[in-house]
């Protein structure tokens, strides 16, 4: 098959910086058997083309990216027709995919992968914050031939909007992340890890307040924070205010190769996100034998309580209690780790590629007008 994938970015020429690992895992597997063209709305400011993970990357760049992306898909379609057009993320990517699909009489698929369905007004985040966003999502989701999402909470949110969707988690590449058996803790401080960009959605302020409570209870720990800072040092300053300087290290961005040993050295991953559709880092930690305590979002919500412990978003006291419980019960920590690892390995990157390939085959023979519009 000839496939078009529409993405916001995450496909940098380097293959390491400014990438979305799960997306690269998917592209590489699809490219083994199919001709894959990836249309990135803005990986770089200037238009360009390069090869990555076996696929051709078409960078659209600045200046009317949606219209030019549709035109680029049309031009490539005329060279040899696409069998399917898929958006990874709804919103602008989904709009490009369904518009190109309708114009070219080609099936379109949309994978909800971010905050497209939420409206977190207190932090100005989400695809449904205003009527334009809600209208765009309604159009995209009802015009797509298939809609998918990574986790059960997002599928439920889609169902509430009257949209039928299939759960397809974006899994871990077990070649890049060889599974490691969960290990018992030795002596010394608990080693925690947090992997996420520093931003309002990931809510590191709640996490740090939970850790300050643990410090006040006399629990000894060190936290490694891995991620790009988008808040201008605000979270680092909060750590100082809370007296966590000796307990928290901010490591900034790390490539996947650099992240693996940091993850392997940890005893527990901690997350405090207000919203997630995944996240992939939960699966990476699980494959590395590391359990996660966090807020009840995405995979965390569907794994709890057998494979993760969760608390309501924003509740730093409950988060502190959950972390303390796991650090104080080694049998529980290992039980969570083994259960999480089984789930992550069962739905790895190969599983993701097979699921999407099955969907591509299923829509190839359908009529060009999307099923939702026909209904």
Residue 63 tokens, joined: 């200046």
The DSSP secondary structure of 6-17, one letter per residue, reads EESS-B-TTSST
Mean pLDDT of 97-122: 95
Give the position of tokens 């992306």: 69
Residue 186 pLDDT level (bands cut at 50, 70, 90):
confident
Q: Percent of the chain at pLDDT above 70? A: 97
User: Which two structure tokens, joined as six digits, stand for 225?
Assistant: 């924070």
* 180 Cα distance to chain centroid: 22
Share of the chain above pLDDT 90, in %: 96
* Yes or no: domain 2-171+349-374 corresponds to CATH 3.40.50.2000: yes
Q: Rounding to the nearest 10 degrees, give the CA dihedral for residues 150, 140, 66, 59.
A: 20
Which pLDDT score is estimated for 283?
A: 97
Per-residue pLDDT of 114-169, as tens digits, reads: 999 999 999 999 999 999 999 999 999 999 999 999 999 999 999 999 999 999 99
Question: Does the pLDDT of residue 368 top 60, yes or no?
Answer: no
DSSP, collapsed to helix, strand or coil, labels residue 272 as coil
Q: Which residues pair with 35 in a beta bridge?
A: 2
Compute the distance between CA of residue 257 and CA of residue 234 in angstroms, rounded to an integer: 27
242 has pLDDT over 60: yes
Per-residue pLDDT averaged across 241-270, rounded?
97
Report residue 317's pLDDT band, with 50, 70 and 90 as the boundaries.
very high
- The whole-angstrom separation of Cα 10 and Cα 152 is 24
The angle at the Cα of 143, spanning 138 to 145, to the nearest 5 degrees, equals 130
Helix, strand, coil % in the chain, rounded to nearest 5:
40, 20, 40
Supply the pLDDT for residue 284: 98
- Average pLDDT in the 259-273 region? 97
Domain locations in the chain as residue ranges: 2-171+349-374, 190-346
Q: Per DSSP, which regions of 184-238 are E strands?
A: 190-195, 221-226
Model confidence at 375: pLDDT above 50: no
Cα distance from N-terminal residue to C-terminal residue, the chain: 28
Q: Give the pLDDT band (50/70/90) at residue 61.
A: very high
> Above 90 in pLDDT, residue 374?
no
| Token reading at 36 | 């894959």
Two domains, one topology: 2-171+349-374 and 190-346: yes
Q: How many CB atoms lie within 10 A of CB 18?
A: 14
CATH T-level fold of 190-346 = Rossmann fold (3.40.50)
Q: How far apart are CA 41 and CA 71, in angstroms?
A: 12
Q: What are the residues facing 120 on neighbouring strands?
A: 125
Residues near 19 by beta carbon (within 8 Å), at least 6 away in sequence: 10, 11, 12
Give one DSSP letter per residue of 274-310, joined into a string.
S--S--HHHHHHHHTT--EEEES-HHHHHHTTTS-EE
156, 277 Cβ separation under 8 angstroms: no
Integer angstrom CA distances of residue 13 from 18, 56, 233: 9, 11, 28
The pLDDT value recorded for residue 314 is 97
> What is the predicted pLDDT for the residue at 330?
97
Task: Give the residue-averaged pLDDT of 12-25.
Answer: 94
Beta strand residue intervals within 69-173, DSSP E: 84-88, 108-112, 146-149, 166-167
C-alpha distances out from residue 79 to 33, 100, 211, Å = 19, 15, 57
């Amino acid at each position: 098959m000839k496939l078009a994938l529409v993405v916001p970015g995450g496909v940098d020429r380097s293959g390491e910086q400014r990438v979305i690992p799960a997306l690269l895992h998917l592209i590489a597997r699809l490219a083994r058997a199919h001709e894959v063209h990836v249309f990135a709305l803005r990986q770089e400011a200037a238009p360009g083309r390069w090869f990555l993970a076996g696929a051709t990357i078409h960078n659209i760049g600045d200046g009317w990216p949606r219209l030019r992306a549709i035109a680029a898909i049309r031009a490539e379609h005329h060279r040899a027709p696409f069998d399917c057009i898929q958006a990874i993320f709804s919103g602008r990517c989904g709009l490009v995919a369904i518009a190109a699909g309708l114009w070219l009489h080609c099936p379109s698929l949309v994978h909800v992968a971010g905050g497209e369905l939420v409206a977190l007004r207190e932090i100005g985040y989400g695809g449904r914050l205003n009527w334009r966003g809600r209208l765009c999502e309604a159009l995209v989701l009802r015009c797509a031939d298939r809609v998918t999402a990574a986790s059960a909470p997002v599928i439920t949110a889609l169902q509430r909007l009257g949209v039928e969707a299939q759960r397809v988690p974006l899994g871990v590449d077990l070649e890049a992340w060889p599974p490691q058996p969960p290990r018992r803790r030795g002596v010394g401080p608990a080693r925690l890890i947090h992997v996420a960009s520093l931003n309002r959605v990931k809510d590191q302020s709640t996490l740090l307040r939970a850790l300050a409570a643990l410090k006040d209870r006399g629990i000894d720990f060190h936290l490694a924070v891995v991620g790009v800072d988008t808040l201008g040092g605000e979270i680092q300053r909060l750590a100082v205010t809370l007296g966590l300087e000796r307990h928290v290290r901010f490591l900034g961005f790390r490539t996947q190769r650099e992240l693996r040993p940091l993850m392997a050295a940890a005893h527990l991953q901690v997350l405090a996100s207000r919203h997630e559709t995944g996240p992939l880092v939960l699966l990476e930690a699980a494959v590395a034998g590391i359990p996660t305590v966090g807020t009840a979002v995405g995979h965390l919500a569907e794994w709890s309580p057998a494979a993760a412990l969760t608390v309501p978003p924003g509740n730093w006291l409950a988060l502190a209690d959950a972390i303390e419980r796991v650090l104080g019960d080694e049998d529980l920590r290992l039980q969570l780790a083994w259960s999480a690892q089984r789930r992550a390995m069962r739905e790895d990157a190969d599983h993701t590629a097979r699921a999407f390939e099955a969907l591509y085959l299923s829509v190839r023979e359908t009529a060009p007008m999307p099923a939702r519009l026909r209904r």
